[in-house]
Amino acid sequence: MTRFNKKNVQTPLVIHISVYRGHVVKGFRENPPMASVVVERWYMAPGVKRIEVKERGITGTLFIPPGPGPFPGLLDIWGLVEKLVEYRASLLASHGFVTMALRYYSPIEIKPEDVDTAIEIIQEHPLVMEDRVGVIGISFGGSVAIRIASSAKGVNMGRIKCPLLYIIGEDDQLMPSAAIAEDIAKMMREAGNDHLLTSLSYPNAGHLIEPSYIPHTRESHFTFSNQPKMISVWGGHPKPHADAQEDSWEKILAFLKQHLYPSPHTVLQAKM
């Protein structure tokens, strides 16, 4: 099985929905449907700009919200995916954040200085509030984001002295997400910073908790670098995983707006 991945975010995802009478049997499409509708899901709001980035050793895509700005900035880091994944970054830009989707080729090749450089590129953009830049990650990218929070100079965080949102799928079959969350909470509590940690935990949700309405895949083929194709078990069950994605996406947006925007009024201006 192959995981869904919207590659071209400049075109909508087109979904045809039809309702047929009776049970679904072979040849049912030969009969006229009782009702049909076509739904389009756009990943870039009107006016969002997409800019390819290839400078200072960094490869990525920068998405700029419409409007005069200035806007907060975000660095979007995915897991072990060699191809550039843009759909979350484009959605975040549609909500008022200048967002760079970062491409890297292996966990060995990604260096702290590369991440610092990517953050600096975001900060240097004339439409970005340079002192309001955050990081969002998923899977291995989440580990990189935590490393940035504890050490990178570009976000001025020290040893996790910034607000941190950690999302847990309790049926994660790839990583011990719940145990990692407990370790993070323990370390922050011992450092006196646990008030900065917000955790969201979702029963029967899997490893890859993505933006709302991204199709759930419990397991899929996975290839990386020159390694042979293998099966990755991500975990999760369709309904609770979908519920987790819908709930967490709204809370991610609220968290980012609360901590990166100076005031709610500026958020509304950025989305106009």
What tens digit of pLDDT does each residue of 115-166 get? Answer: 889 999 999 999 999 999 999 998 878 887 887 777 655 444 746 778 999 9
Say how far apart CA 134 and CA 73 lie, in whole Å: 6
20 has a pLDDT exceeding 50: yes
Q: Classify burial at 229, counting beta carbons within 10 Å of its beta carbon; exposed 0-12, middle 13-18, buried 19 or more.
A: exposed
Say how far apart CA 59 and CA 122 lie, in whole Å: 13
Strands 35-41 and 13-19: antiparallel
Name the DSSP class of 133.
E
For the stretch 179-203, pLDDT in tens is 998 988 888 888 888 899 999 999 9
pLDDT at 113: 80
Q: Is the pTM of this model over 0.85?
A: yes
What average pLDDT does this structure show over 54-70? 93
**Residue in the block written with tokens 């910073």:** 193
**DSSP per position, 14-81:** EEEEEE-SS---TTGGGSPPSEEEEEEE-SS-TT-EEEEEEETTEEEEEEE-SSS--EEEEEEE-SS-
